[in-house]
């Protein structure tokens, strides 16, 4: 009897450990901000795709967005941004993170991010995000403290004045559990 209970328990634990929870990015707004002494600019994309898979207590997330999908409202500026960031050679920005599955129940998390952009891979540690759970959806809000120098991008200039090094990227995403 004890052996049957033990075997049943081990089978149940094994089935639970092998069941994957999957998340899909449903809706998103990614906004980078550039500051110049003469003006401020935001570039917005809603074209990110993303997937998350949770297994054995860990969740791996991947988000990808085309560089050319960011729109600042000025096509000349956007074309220059593509040139400066080497968008033709490296057309996708990708973000990877691994979180404990329990973080999907928290309201605030700190995530370690690996970002590939402009031919560079950069690690950001303990980036804070706010999570709002709404049924089978999680709304994620936060800002990645990116800089041009992190990605070895020379600051573009206007009237011989370069933009500031800081290019924070605001994240506003809705993830749906499948």
**Residue 4, in any domain of the structure:** no
Plot region of 118 (φ>0 → left; ψ -120 to 50 → alpha; else → beta) = left
Task: Reply yes or no on whether the pLDDT at 16 is more than 50.
Answer: no
The per-residue pLDDT for range 29-72, each reduced to its tens digit, is 999 999 998 889 999 999 999 999 999 989 999 999 999 999 99
| Mean pLDDT across the chain | 88
Please check whether residue 140 lies inside any domain of the structure.
Answer: yes
Q: What is the CATH number of the domain that holds 155?
A: 2.40.128.110
Report the domain count for the chain: 1
In a domain, 65, yes or no: yes
Which domain, by its residues, includes 30? 20-177
Cβ atoms of 2 and 132 closer than 8 Å: no
């Amino acid at each position: 009897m004890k052996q049957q209970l033990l075997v049943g328990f081990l089978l149940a634990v094994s089935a639970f450990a092998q069941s994957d929870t999957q998340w899909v990015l449903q809706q998103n707004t990614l906004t980078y901000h550039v500051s110049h002494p003469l003006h401020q600019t935001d570039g917005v994309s809603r074209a990110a795709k993303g997937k998350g898979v949770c297994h054995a207590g860990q969740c791996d997330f991947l988000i990808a967005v085309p560089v050319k999908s960011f729109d600042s409202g000025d096509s000349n500026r956007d074309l220059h941004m593509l040139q400066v960031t080497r968008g033709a050679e490296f057309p996708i920005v990708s973000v990877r993170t691994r979180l404990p599955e329990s973080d999907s129940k928290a309201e605030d998390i700190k995530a370690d991010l690996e970002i590939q952009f402009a031919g560079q891979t950069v690690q950001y540690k303990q980036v804070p995000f706010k999570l709002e759970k709404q049924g089978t959806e999680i709304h994620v809000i936060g800002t990645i403290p990116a800089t041009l120098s992190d990605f070895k991008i020379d600051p573009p200039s206007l009237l011989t004045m370069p933009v500031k090094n800081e290019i924070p990227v605001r994240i506003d995403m809705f993830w749906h559990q499948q």
